[in-house]
């Protein structure tokens, strides 16, 4: 485990954490002062990707094939000239939210989820991207009642799941629209939101209009998917055909952004709750990680090593990662917590980072 | 020849950036000439449709340009163009 590294994307740079002399600590910083909003490690070719969402200069994208020693700029794709967002305004590239390789069956493919509401694909390792027309032109998006922004001005695609056995089989999560599935490498898409609840809409059971915050799959049993949703935690055991609310009836865990799953145990997942959107602080101002071992029937509260008083931290959707027993999350107030035993005990690695937007774990 | 002056903040991404003189009768033309000298710089100033990014400002002879979409503000002989970003934090 000690050879693993943690990449932490903050609003003031990319911070690399490593274990030196038995202590996890900052070992490098890249892009100092710049907002690193996306970090992705393509484990197929060990390439690091860093998306920088400049306030002034627009979205930029960089990659490194030598674990950060050198970085190369990559072109950010453009929306088609005639592309429009729902209100008839021209669609212009706002932000990269997620990158995902296409799986071993398509080793040069990279998917990119963006704001506003775009899915792009590259077939040449990220040198060129093009928009996925079938999703952009999906009837549910063209109807402005069904895709919309809530926390952001426009909808965005933040989660992309490639089926581990059939890499042409995809799931994406759109906030707000919901889950969509494709069996043909993105040539056609179907909404998969049955069982979800959109409590903020006049009709909470709409087909499209849901707000998944994070979507993940159990790699060895890919019919099991989990999502932390605006309206609770949901689990599917039938490949997203139906979803079941597995939130704790007592109210926590329920709302939040961050989610981690066990790659081989379909019963086990972790979430980091927040007080709902009115406040967006840690519940009772005490940080807690919640774990289920039984598919969401019961939840265990993990607090060891986490601050339990006067705590304002919450954890964003891409700021929680796990690899084997190594878990790490960064918070909105610049804290970074790490666990070497699957969350049973946490240690603080830094109190002094900027807001953490994303983390990723580099395998040894 | 128009004189183009840049915000110092851009030097982080274009370390060789200095004040330059380029030919052009509109803002669009001088930015095109600037791109030829500093490849990639217009991607920092303009969005993918060629409009001035929201937090960027371009001045001609001390006045903000009026056409931020197609950049057709006219330039006279020896006019000065200043490229500057909106300031964060006041």
Cβ pair A58:B55 closer than 8 A: no
Got the DSSP string for A167-223?
TT-EEEEEETBEEEEESSTTSS-EE--TT---TTSSSTT-SS-B-EEEEEE-TTSTT
Q: Pick from A57, A76, A79: which is nearest to B53 by CB?
A: A57
In this prediction the pTM is 0.95
**What values do phi and psi take at B32, rounded to 5?**
-65, -40
Q: Quick check: B88 pLDDT over 70?
A: no
Cβ pair B47:A81 closer than 8 A: no
Q: Which residues of B touch A12 (CB under 8 A)?
A: none
Task: Give the pLDDT confidence score for residue A144 in this predicted structure.
Answer: 65
What is the least distance, in Å, from the CA of B46 to any CA of chain A? 8
Task: Give the pLDDT confidence score for residue A1 in this predicted structure.
Answer: 47
Q: Is A57 at the interface with chain B, CB within 8 A?
A: yes
Q: Which residues of A touch B13 (CB under 8 A)?
A: 57
Residue range B33-58: average pLDDT?
Answer: 95
What is the least distance, in Å, from the CA of A330 to any CA of chain B? 25
- In chain A, the largest separation of any two C-alpha atoms, in whole Å, equals 57
Interface mutation vs chain B, best among A57, A77, A83, A115, most B CBs within 10 Å: A57
Cβ pair A81:B49 closer than 8 A: yes
Q: Pick from A58, A79, A93: which is nearest to B44 by CB?
A: A58
Cβ pair A56:B56 closer than 8 A: yes
CA distance A90 to A238: 38
Residue B49 near residue B6, CB atoms below 8 Å? no
Question: Using alpha carbons only, how large is chain A's radius of gyration in Å?
Answer: 19
Interface mutation vs chain A, best among B6, B17, B49, B58, most A CBs within 10 Å: B49
> Considering chain B, what percentage of its residues have pLDDT values greater than 90?
90
Joined together, the tokens standing for residue A282 give: 């840690």
Interface mutation vs chain B, best among A58, A73, A115, A130, most B CBs within 10 Å: A58
Residue of B nearest to A77 (CA): B48
Interface mutation vs chain A, best among B8, B10, B17, B47, most A CBs within 10 Å: B47
Confidence band (pLDDT; 50, 70, 90) for B90?
A: low
Got the DSSP string for chain B?
-EEEEE-GGGGGT-TT---EEE--SBHHHHHHHHHHHSTTHHHHHB-TTSPBPTTEEEEETTEE-S-TTT---B--TT-EEEEEEPPTT-
Task: Give the pLDDT confidence score for residue A251 in this predicted structure.
Answer: 79
Ranges of residues in chain A with a pLDDT under 50 are 1
Task: Give the pLDDT confidence score for residue B69 in this predicted structure.
Answer: 96
What is the least distance, in Å, from the CA of A48 to any CA of chain B? 20
CA distance A192 to A229: 14
Task: Give the pLDDT confidence score for residue A198 in this predicted structure.
Answer: 95
CB-based contacts of A217, cutoff 8 Å, min separation 6: A161, A163, A164, A171, A224, A225, A226, A261
Nearest CA among A72, A68, A60 for reference residue A34: A60
Cβ pair A93:B56 closer than 8 A: no
Q: Pick from B40, B48, B56: which is nearest to A92 by CB?
A: B48
Residues A50-69 have pLDDT tens digits of: 999 998 999 999 999 999 99
What is the least distance, in Å, from the CA of A110 to any CA of chain B? 21
């Amino acid at each position: 485990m000690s050879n693993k590294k943690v990449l932490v994307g903050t609003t003031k740079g990319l911070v690399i954490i490593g274990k030196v002399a038995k202590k996890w600590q900052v070992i490098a910083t890249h892009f100092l002062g710049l907002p690193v909003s996306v970090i992705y490690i393509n484990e197929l070719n060990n390439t690091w990707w860093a998306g920088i969402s400049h306030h002034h200069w627009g979205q930029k994208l960089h990659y490194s094939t030598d674990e950060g020693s050198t970085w190369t700029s990559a072109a950010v794709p453009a929306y088609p000239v005639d592309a429009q967002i729902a209100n008839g305004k021209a669609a212009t590239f706002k932000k990269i939210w997620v990158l995902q390789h296409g799986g071993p069956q398509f080793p040069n493919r990279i998917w990119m989820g963006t704001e506003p509401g775009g899915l792009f694909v590259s077939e040449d390792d990220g040198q060129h991207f093009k928009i996925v027309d079938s999703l952009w032109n999906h009837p549910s998006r063209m109807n402005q009642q069904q895709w919309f922004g809530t926390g952001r001005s426009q909808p965005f695609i933040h989660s992309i799941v490639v089926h581990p056995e059939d890499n042409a089989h995809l799931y994406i999560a759109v906030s707000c629209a919901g889950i969509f599935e494709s069996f043909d490498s993105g040539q056609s898409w179907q909404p998969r939101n049955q069982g979800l609840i959109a409590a903020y809409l006049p009709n909470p059971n709409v087909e499209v209009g849901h707000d998944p915050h994070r979507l993940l799959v159990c790699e060895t049993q890919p019919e099991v998917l989990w999502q932390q949703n605006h309206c609770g935690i949901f689990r599917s055991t039938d490949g997203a055909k139906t979803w079941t609310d597995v939130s704790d009836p007592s109210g926590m865990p329920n709302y939040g952004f961050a989610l981690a799953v066990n790659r081989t145990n379909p019963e086990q997942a972790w979430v980091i709750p927040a007080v709902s959107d009115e406040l967006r602080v840690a519940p009772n101002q005490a940080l807690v990680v919640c774990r289920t071992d039984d598919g969401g029937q019961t939840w265990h509260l993990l607090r060891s090593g986490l601050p339990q008083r006067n705590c304002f931290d919450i954890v964003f959707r891409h700021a929680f990662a796990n690899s084997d027993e190594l878990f790490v999350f960064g918070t909105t107030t610049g804290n970074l917590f790490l666990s070497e035993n699957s969350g049973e005990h946490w240690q603080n690695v830094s109190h002094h980072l900027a807001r953490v937007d994303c983390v990723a774990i580099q395998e040894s | 020849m128009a004189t183009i002056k840049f915000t110092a903040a851009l030097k982080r991404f274009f370390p060789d950036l200095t004040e330059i003189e380029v030919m052009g009768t509109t803002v669009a033309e001088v930015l095109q000439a600037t791109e030829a000298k500093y490849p990639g710089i217009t991607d920092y100033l303009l969005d993918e449709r060629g409009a001035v990014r929201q937090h960027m400002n371009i001045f001609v002879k001390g006045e903000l340009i009026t056409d931020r979409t197609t950049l057709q503000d006219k330039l006279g002989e020896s006019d000065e163009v200043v490229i500057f970003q909106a300031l964060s934090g006041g």
